[in-house]
Structure 1
Amino acid sequence: MNPDRRDRLRDAAIAVLAEAGGRGLTHRAVDAAAGVPAGTAKNYFPSRDALLRGVAERCVEQYGATVERLAAQAPPSGRKALAELLAGLLADVAGPGRPRLLAYFELQAEAARKPWLSEVLDPIGGSDFPAFEAVQRAAGLPVTPHRAAVVTLALHAAIPHLLAGGTRTLGACGLDDPPRFARNLLEAVYPESGG
């Protein structure tokens, strides 16, 4: 099988999940989104579970590429640089990263009923905790595993709200201004007064 065509189908499946949700993920929809002849997706992914596994693995690959890209950058030096990094990640949710994250959340919903899918996706969430702890430490903050986890969980909790875009919700929690949200989050977890 052609690996480039397989990736094209998996990328198309991400687009379908982002646009139509889990119910819309069909072989026919993936074929149409990829612009390939009918039946192509079925040849590469014979069942819906195989299609789900393929798109989940693609999400993990894309996440890994994002982590590598961030790791290649200089770590944030200081609280201000860390807040800017976090704000940039949050802005990406509502921008270029939106389709990938929508697909990921659709897959997470499926994984609640399919433990094998949860295992495929686990590297994404599991690697966030040590990665975010490392950037908080690099920024010179008084990191503990608990504090680092609170920051990571707050960022994870922000994502569905940013994807949904409800203006009252975003305003109520401060996500209508991602840079301010990031600064406030760091201040709450790491008060500059040393508390």
Structure 2
Amino acid sequence: MNQDRRNLLRDAAIEVLASAGGRGLTHRAVDAAAEVPVGTAKNYFPTREALLRAAAERCVEQYGQVAAQMTAAGPGPCDREELVGLFGGLLENVAGPGRPRMLAYFELRSEAARDPQLSAILDQIATDDFTGLELAQRAAGLPVTPQSAAIVTLALHGAILHLLVDTPSTLATTAAGLENLDHFARNLIGTVYPQNPDDRRHAQVQQ
């Protein structure tokens, strides 16, 4: 089959998931989003399950592309400030060009609760995320433990959910400290890895 056409349909499936949710994902909706003749998506992905898994595979590929762009400058952040920049950039991507992909990802995660094969595809993102973010923290010279690395990753995941659901003016965004994403990243790192006994208290006051 034509790989370019296949990618077009997979990208269209992500677009539909992001705009209409899991219930809106149909072959006709994907055909319309891709601007191809009716029946094209069904020809490439005969069942809804196949369509969902194709979208999940595309999400994994796009995640890898974003991760590669973030690390293109070198092996990883060399200090706290570079780590702040990395985390802030990741969150800015979610709030901006990466928003459709992340919305689609969470829709797929919901579907994966009932589809082990879909879950297995998406697990690669979760595994790579925990591993990659831990390596970034280690590269920055922080006193990393598996527990501290997981806390940072889970906090970033929580921030992502707020960025997807809330607007910059909502009270939840303000309560989460997400008006300034670099500031949020700096407070997160300073709270989990205080440089001196006063850092943790200072981060709490800033929040």
TM bin, normalised by shorter chain, reads over 0.9
Moved over 6 A (4+): none
Cα shift at 1:91:
1.1
Residue 70 of structure 2 contacts residue 86 of structure 2 at CA under 8 Å; is this kept in 1?
Answer: no
CA distance in 1, matches of 2:70, 2:97: 16
Amino acid at match of 1:88: G
Amino acid at match of 1:138: A
Matched residue, 1:18: 18
Are 1:101 and 2:129 matched, yes or no? no
Matched residue, 1:45: 45
CA distance in 2, matches of 1:177, 1:68: 24
Bigger RCO (CA 8 Å, 6+ sep): 1
Task: Choose 81-90 or 59-68, whichever is displaced more.
Answer: 59-68
Cα shift at 1:80:
1.2
Matched residue, 1:32: 32
Residue 77 of structure 2 contacts residue 86 of structure 2 at CA under 8 Å; is this kept in 1?
Answer: yes
Are 1:192 and 2:186 matched, yes or no? no
Amino acid at match of 1:39: G
Matched residue, 2:87: 86
- CA shift digits 1:2-30 (9 cap, x unpaired): 11100000000111111111111000000
Amino acid at match of 2:160: I
Amino acid at match of 1:61: E
Residue 56 of structure 2 contacts residue 122 of structure 2 at CA under 8 Å; is this kept in 1?
Answer: yes
TM-score by length of 2: 0.91
Matched residue, 1:124: 125
RMSD: 1.2
Amino acid at match of 2:41: A
Amino acid at match of 1:79: R
CA distance in 1, matches of 2:49, 2:144: 40
Secondary structure of 1:72's aligned partner: coil
Are 1:154 and 2:193 matched, yes or no? no
- Among all aligned residue pairs of Structure 1 and Structure 2, give the percentage whose two residues are the same amino acid: 63
Residue 56 of structure 2 contacts residue 105 of structure 2 at CA under 8 Å; is this kept in 1?
Answer: yes
Matched residue, 1:182: 185
- CA shift digits 1:118-147 (9 cap, x unpaired): 111000011111111111111111111111
Matched residue, 1:170: 173
CA distance in 1, matches of 2:54, 2:125: 15
